[in-house]
Copies of this chain bind each other. A is one copy, B any other.
Amino acid sequence: SSSESSSQVKPGADKEHAGYGTLVVTSEDGITKIMLNRPTRKNAISTQMYQEIILALKAASQDDSAITVLTGNGDFYCSGNDLTNVTDTPLGGIEEKAKNSTNLLRDFVASFIDFPKPLIAVVNGPAVGIAVTLLGLFDIVYASDRATFHTPFSHLGLSPEGCSSYTFPKIMGPTKATEMLTFGKKLTAREACAQGLVTEVFPDATFQKEVWTRLTAYAKLPSNVLRISKQVIRSMEKEKLHSVNVEESSIVQERFLSKESMNAVMNFLSKRAKL
Protein backbone atom coordinates (compact mmCIF):
# COMPACT_ATOMS: atom_id res chain seq x y z
CA SER A 1 0.00 0.00 0.00
CA SER A 2 3.05 2.19 0.32
CA SER A 3 5.41 1.55 -2.47
CA GLU A 4 4.26 3.53 -5.47
CA SER A 5 5.84 6.70 -4.21
CA SER A 6 9.20 5.02 -3.87
CA SER A 7 9.40 3.40 -7.27
CA GLN A 8 12.31 5.68 -8.20
CA VAL A 9 14.58 3.89 -5.75
CA LYS A 10 17.14 1.69 -7.52
CA PRO A 11 15.72 -1.84 -7.84
CA GLY A 12 16.81 -4.14 -5.07
CA ALA A 13 18.66 -1.42 -3.23
CA ASP A 14 17.13 -0.83 0.20
CA LYS A 15 14.26 -3.16 -0.62
CA GLU A 16 16.26 -6.36 -0.30
CA HIS A 17 15.37 -8.54 2.66
CA ALA A 18 18.48 -9.65 4.50
CA GLY A 19 19.38 -13.05 5.81
CA TYR A 20 18.95 -15.38 2.84
CA GLY A 21 21.87 -17.36 1.47
CA THR A 22 20.24 -19.03 -1.53
CA LEU A 23 17.59 -16.45 -2.41
CA VAL A 24 17.31 -12.77 -3.23
CA VAL A 25 14.05 -11.45 -1.78
CA THR A 26 12.88 -7.93 -2.62
CA SER A 27 9.67 -5.95 -2.17
CA GLU A 28 8.60 -3.11 -4.45
CA ASP A 29 5.40 -1.72 -5.99
CA GLY A 30 3.18 -4.08 -4.02
CA ILE A 31 5.12 -7.13 -5.22
CA THR A 32 7.38 -9.37 -3.15
CA LYS A 33 9.81 -11.17 -5.45
CA ILE A 34 11.55 -14.37 -4.33
CA MET A 35 14.43 -15.11 -6.71
CA LEU A 36 16.23 -18.46 -6.59
CA ASN A 37 19.92 -17.53 -6.55
CA ARG A 38 22.15 -20.49 -7.23
CA PRO A 39 22.65 -19.77 -10.94
CA THR A 40 25.84 -21.82 -11.22
CA ARG A 41 23.85 -24.85 -10.00
CA LYS A 42 20.91 -24.04 -12.31
CA ASN A 43 19.06 -23.01 -9.17
CA ALA A 44 18.86 -26.61 -7.92
CA ILE A 45 17.06 -26.69 -4.57
CA SER A 46 19.47 -27.59 -1.76
CA THR A 47 18.29 -28.38 1.75
CA GLN A 48 19.07 -24.80 2.71
CA MET A 49 17.05 -23.42 -0.20
CA TYR A 50 14.02 -25.55 0.74
CA GLN A 51 14.17 -24.08 4.23
CA GLU A 52 14.69 -20.53 3.04
CA ILE A 53 11.79 -20.67 0.57
CA ILE A 54 9.49 -21.81 3.40
CA LEU A 55 10.65 -18.81 5.46
CA ALA A 56 10.38 -16.36 2.55
CA LEU A 57 6.80 -17.48 1.80
CA LYS A 58 5.88 -17.07 5.45
CA ALA A 59 7.31 -13.54 5.50
CA ALA A 60 5.60 -12.65 2.19
CA SER A 61 2.25 -13.89 3.47
CA GLN A 62 2.50 -11.34 6.26
CA ASP A 63 4.02 -8.32 4.53
CA ASP A 64 1.93 -5.61 2.84
CA SER A 65 2.53 -6.77 -0.73
CA ALA A 66 -0.48 -7.58 -2.91
CA ILE A 67 1.11 -10.44 -4.85
CA THR A 68 4.19 -12.66 -4.57
CA VAL A 69 6.43 -13.81 -7.42
CA LEU A 70 8.83 -16.75 -7.64
CA THR A 71 11.52 -16.64 -10.34
CA GLY A 72 15.08 -17.77 -11.05
CA ASN A 73 18.37 -15.93 -11.47
CA GLY A 74 20.30 -16.72 -14.66
CA ASP A 75 19.43 -19.05 -17.53
CA PHE A 76 17.42 -21.59 -15.55
CA TYR A 77 14.19 -21.18 -13.64
CA CYS A 78 15.03 -24.16 -11.44
CA SER A 79 16.56 -27.59 -12.07
CA GLY A 80 14.58 -29.21 -9.24
CA ASN A 81 15.76 -31.11 -6.21
CA ASP A 82 19.55 -30.94 -5.81
CA LEU A 83 20.36 -34.64 -5.98
CA THR A 84 23.48 -34.16 -3.94
CA ASN A 85 21.01 -33.68 -1.07
CA VAL A 86 20.31 -37.37 -1.40
CA THR A 87 23.89 -38.60 -1.36
CA ASP A 88 24.96 -36.49 1.58
CA THR A 89 24.15 -39.15 4.19
CA PRO A 90 23.75 -38.03 7.82
CA LEU A 91 24.62 -39.80 11.04
CA GLY A 92 21.27 -41.60 11.26
CA GLY A 93 21.97 -43.37 8.00
CA ILE A 94 19.97 -43.61 4.82
CA GLU A 95 16.59 -44.22 6.43
CA GLU A 96 16.89 -41.19 8.68
CA LYS A 97 17.96 -39.23 5.60
CA ALA A 98 14.93 -40.37 3.58
CA LYS A 99 12.61 -39.50 6.43
CA ASN A 100 14.10 -36.04 6.96
CA SER A 101 14.14 -35.25 3.26
CA THR A 102 10.53 -36.20 2.70
CA ASN A 103 9.37 -34.37 5.83
CA LEU A 104 11.08 -31.26 4.50
CA LEU A 105 9.55 -31.85 1.05
CA ARG A 106 6.11 -32.22 2.63
CA ASP A 107 6.44 -29.01 4.66
CA PHE A 108 7.80 -27.17 1.63
CA VAL A 109 4.83 -28.17 -0.54
CA ALA A 110 2.41 -27.36 2.31
CA SER A 111 3.72 -23.80 2.41
CA PHE A 112 2.63 -23.37 -1.23
CA ILE A 113 -0.80 -24.92 -0.55
CA ASP A 114 -1.37 -22.52 2.34
CA PHE A 115 -0.02 -19.34 0.75
CA PRO A 116 -2.85 -16.81 1.11
CA LYS A 117 -2.13 -14.27 -1.66
CA PRO A 118 -1.89 -14.62 -5.43
CA LEU A 119 1.36 -16.46 -6.14
CA ILE A 120 2.89 -15.98 -9.57
CA ALA A 121 5.64 -18.00 -11.25
CA VAL A 122 7.84 -16.08 -13.68
CA VAL A 123 9.46 -19.02 -15.45
CA ASN A 124 12.54 -17.49 -17.04
CA GLY A 125 14.06 -20.74 -18.35
CA PRO A 126 14.00 -24.54 -18.02
CA ALA A 127 12.12 -26.05 -15.08
CA VAL A 128 12.70 -29.59 -13.82
CA GLY A 129 11.08 -31.93 -11.28
CA ILE A 130 9.52 -30.28 -8.25
CA ALA A 131 9.90 -26.85 -9.88
CA VAL A 132 7.43 -28.12 -12.49
CA THR A 133 5.04 -30.07 -10.30
CA LEU A 134 4.58 -27.13 -7.91
CA LEU A 135 3.26 -24.99 -10.78
CA GLY A 136 -0.14 -26.61 -10.27
CA LEU A 137 -0.33 -24.71 -6.96
CA PHE A 138 0.47 -21.28 -8.44
CA ASP A 139 -2.24 -18.78 -9.35
CA ILE A 140 -0.57 -17.51 -12.53
CA VAL A 141 2.36 -19.00 -14.49
CA TYR A 142 4.09 -16.81 -17.09
CA ALA A 143 6.81 -18.45 -19.17
CA SER A 144 9.55 -17.33 -21.52
CA ASP A 145 9.51 -19.25 -24.79
CA ARG A 146 12.95 -20.56 -23.71
CA ALA A 147 11.36 -22.41 -20.80
CA THR A 148 10.87 -26.19 -20.86
CA PHE A 149 9.03 -28.43 -18.41
CA HIS A 150 10.47 -31.81 -17.52
CA THR A 151 9.65 -34.33 -14.77
CA PRO A 152 11.88 -37.40 -15.20
CA PHE A 153 10.69 -39.12 -12.01
CA SER A 154 10.48 -42.66 -13.40
CA HIS A 155 13.97 -42.38 -14.87
CA LEU A 156 15.22 -41.80 -11.31
CA GLY A 157 13.00 -44.52 -9.82
CA LEU A 158 10.88 -41.85 -8.13
CA SER A 159 7.16 -40.98 -8.06
CA PRO A 160 5.36 -37.64 -8.59
CA GLU A 161 5.10 -35.05 -5.80
CA GLY A 162 4.11 -31.38 -5.32
CA CYS A 163 0.44 -32.47 -5.54
CA SER A 164 0.97 -33.03 -9.28
CA SER A 165 -0.72 -36.45 -9.17
CA TYR A 166 -3.88 -34.48 -8.37
CA THR A 167 -3.38 -31.08 -10.02
CA PHE A 168 -1.92 -32.21 -13.38
CA PRO A 169 -4.76 -34.57 -14.40
CA LYS A 170 -7.21 -31.79 -13.44
CA ILE A 171 -5.32 -29.23 -15.51
CA MET A 172 -4.39 -31.19 -18.64
CA GLY A 173 -6.44 -34.37 -18.47
CA PRO A 174 -5.11 -37.71 -17.23
CA THR A 175 -3.41 -38.90 -20.43
CA LYS A 176 -1.28 -35.79 -21.02
CA ALA A 177 -0.50 -35.74 -17.29
CA THR A 178 0.61 -39.38 -17.41
CA GLU A 179 2.87 -38.95 -20.42
CA MET A 180 4.58 -36.16 -18.49
CA LEU A 181 4.63 -37.47 -14.92
CA THR A 182 5.01 -41.21 -15.54
CA PHE A 183 6.94 -41.31 -18.82
CA GLY A 184 8.93 -38.11 -18.41
CA LYS A 185 7.90 -36.37 -21.64
CA LYS A 186 9.48 -32.89 -21.78
CA LEU A 187 7.17 -30.04 -22.83
CA THR A 188 8.02 -26.79 -24.57
CA ALA A 189 6.53 -23.59 -23.17
CA ARG A 190 3.93 -23.50 -25.96
CA GLU A 191 2.90 -27.10 -25.25
CA ALA A 192 2.66 -26.43 -21.53
CA CYS A 193 0.47 -23.41 -22.30
CA ALA A 194 -1.82 -25.34 -24.66
CA GLN A 195 -2.25 -27.86 -21.85
CA GLY A 196 -3.13 -25.24 -19.25
CA LEU A 197 -0.05 -25.60 -17.04
CA VAL A 198 1.25 -22.20 -18.22
CA THR A 199 -1.05 -19.17 -18.36
CA GLU A 200 0.78 -17.33 -21.13
CA VAL A 201 4.06 -17.56 -23.08
CA PHE A 202 6.14 -14.51 -24.05
CA PRO A 203 9.12 -14.16 -26.42
CA ASP A 204 12.29 -14.32 -24.35
CA ALA A 205 13.52 -10.96 -25.68
CA THR A 206 10.58 -9.06 -24.17
CA PHE A 207 9.66 -11.52 -21.41
CA GLN A 208 10.82 -9.54 -18.37
CA LYS A 209 9.43 -6.25 -19.64
CA GLU A 210 6.00 -7.56 -20.60
CA VAL A 211 5.55 -9.66 -17.48
CA TRP A 212 6.60 -7.01 -14.98
CA THR A 213 4.47 -4.35 -16.66
CA ARG A 214 1.45 -6.57 -16.32
CA LEU A 215 2.24 -7.65 -12.75
CA THR A 216 2.80 -4.06 -11.64
CA ALA A 217 -0.69 -3.21 -12.91
CA TYR A 218 -2.21 -6.26 -11.21
CA ALA A 219 -0.56 -5.37 -7.90
CA LYS A 220 -2.44 -2.06 -7.86
CA LEU A 221 -5.80 -3.82 -7.47
CA PRO A 222 -7.21 -3.68 -3.93
CA SER A 223 -4.98 -6.15 -2.04
CA ASN A 224 -7.77 -7.18 0.28
CA VAL A 225 -9.96 -8.31 -2.59
CA LEU A 226 -7.10 -10.20 -4.25
CA ARG A 227 -6.61 -12.22 -1.09
CA ILE A 228 -10.34 -12.91 -0.79
CA SER A 229 -10.68 -13.85 -4.46
CA LYS A 230 -7.84 -16.36 -4.10
CA GLN A 231 -9.46 -17.75 -0.99
CA VAL A 232 -12.82 -18.21 -2.76
CA ILE A 233 -11.15 -20.00 -5.68
CA ARG A 234 -8.69 -22.12 -3.70
CA SER A 235 -10.14 -22.79 -0.26
CA MET A 236 -12.42 -25.58 -1.46
CA GLU A 237 -9.58 -27.92 -2.24
CA LYS A 238 -7.05 -26.99 0.41
CA GLU A 239 -7.87 -29.96 2.59
CA LYS A 240 -7.73 -32.31 -0.39
CA LEU A 241 -4.34 -30.89 -1.44
CA HIS A 242 -2.88 -31.40 2.03
CA SER A 243 -3.97 -35.03 2.06
CA VAL A 244 -2.54 -35.58 -1.43
CA ASN A 245 0.75 -34.02 -0.28
CA VAL A 246 0.99 -36.34 2.74
CA GLU A 247 0.24 -39.39 0.60
CA GLU A 248 2.66 -38.47 -2.19
CA SER A 249 5.45 -37.67 0.29
CA SER A 250 5.04 -41.00 2.01
CA ILE A 251 5.36 -42.86 -1.32
CA VAL A 252 8.40 -40.77 -2.30
CA GLN A 253 9.99 -41.78 1.01
CA GLU A 254 9.56 -45.48 0.15
CA ARG A 255 10.91 -44.88 -3.34
CA PHE A 256 14.04 -43.13 -1.99
CA LEU A 257 14.90 -46.32 -0.13
CA SER A 258 14.25 -48.62 -3.10
CA LYS A 259 17.22 -50.13 -4.94
CA GLU A 260 15.59 -49.05 -8.21
CA SER A 261 15.85 -45.42 -7.18
CA MET A 262 19.23 -45.57 -5.44
CA ASN A 263 20.83 -47.12 -8.51
CA ALA A 264 19.15 -44.67 -10.86
CA VAL A 265 20.23 -41.62 -8.83
CA MET A 266 23.82 -42.88 -8.48
CA ASN A 267 23.95 -43.53 -12.20
CA PHE A 268 22.69 -40.04 -12.92
CA LEU A 269 25.21 -38.38 -10.60
CA SER A 270 28.18 -40.39 -11.86
CA LYS A 271 27.28 -39.67 -15.49
CA ARG A 272 27.03 -35.98 -14.68
CA ALA A 273 30.37 -36.04 -12.86
CA LYS A 274 32.06 -37.33 -16.01
CA LEU A 275 30.83 -34.41 -18.15
Chain A residues proximal to chain B, CB less than 8 Å:
118, 135-136, 138-141, 153-155, 157-160, 165-179, 181-184, 195-200, 218, 221-222, 224-226, 228-230, 232-234, 236, 244, 247-248, 251, 255, 258, 260-261, 264
Kindly report how many copies of this chain are found in the complex they form together: 3
Known A179-B199, A199-B176: A251·B225 in contact at CB below 8 Å: no
Rounded to whole angstroms, the CA-CA distance of A169 and B236 in the bound complex is 11
Known A225-B255, A225-B260: A230·B199 in contact at CB below 8 Å: no
Rounded to whole angstroms, the CA-CA distance of A260 and B244 in the bound complex is 36
Residues of B within 8 A of A179 (CB): 140, 199-200
Q: What's the dominant secondary structure at chain A's contact region?
A: helix
B139 engages A175 (CB within 8 Å):
yes
Task: Return the chain B residue nearest A198 by Cβ.
Answer: B175
Rounded to whole angstroms, the CA-CA distance of A178 and B232 in the bound complex is 11
Q: Contacts A154-B225, A170-B170, A225-B255 known; list 12 others, CB within 8 Å.
A: A118-B178, A140-B175, A140-B179, A160-B233, A165-B236, A174-B233, A174-B234, A181-B233, A182-B229, A184-B221, A222-B264, A228-B251
Nearest 9 CB-CB pairings of A with B:
A173-B196, A182-B229, A171-B173, A175-B199, A139-B178, A165-B232, A165-B233, A154-B221, A154-B225
Partner of A153, one of B168, B218, B229: B229
A185 CB, nearest partner CB in chain B, Å: 9
Residues of B within 8 A of A172 (CB): 173, 196
Known A154-B225, A182-B118, A228-B159: A171·B174 in contact at CB below 8 Å: yes
Residues of B within 8 A of A138 (CB): 175
A2 CB, nearest partner CB in chain B, Å: 17
Residues of B within 8 A of A225 (CB): 153-154, 157-159, 255, 260-261
B154 engages A222 (CB within 8 Å):
yes
Known A154-B225, A175-B139, A182-B226: A232·B218 in contact at CB below 8 Å: no
